[in-house]
Amino acid sequence: MAYQYLLFYKPYNVLSQFSEGSTPPAASRSRLTLKDFVPVEQVYPVGRLDRDSEGLMLLTNHGQVQHRLSDPRFAHPRTYWVQVEHVPTPRALDQLRQGVIIKGYHTRPCRAQLIPAPAALPPRDPPIRHRQTIPTAWLELTLEEGKNRQVRRMTAAVGHPTLRLVRVAIAHLHLGALQPGEWRFTTAAERQALLQL
Catalytic one of 36, 50, 52, 125: 50
H-state helical runs in the chain: 63-70, 90-98, 150-157, 188-195
Decide if 50 is catalytic: yes
DSSP per position, 19-66: -SSS---GGG-SSB-GGGT---TT-EESS---TT-EEEEEEES-HHHH
Q: Which of 52, 57, 47, 56 is CA-nearest to residue 162?
A: 52
**Cα–Cα distance for residue pair 103/62, rounded to 1 Å:** 33
14 DSSP 8-state letter: B
Residues marked active site are found at: 50
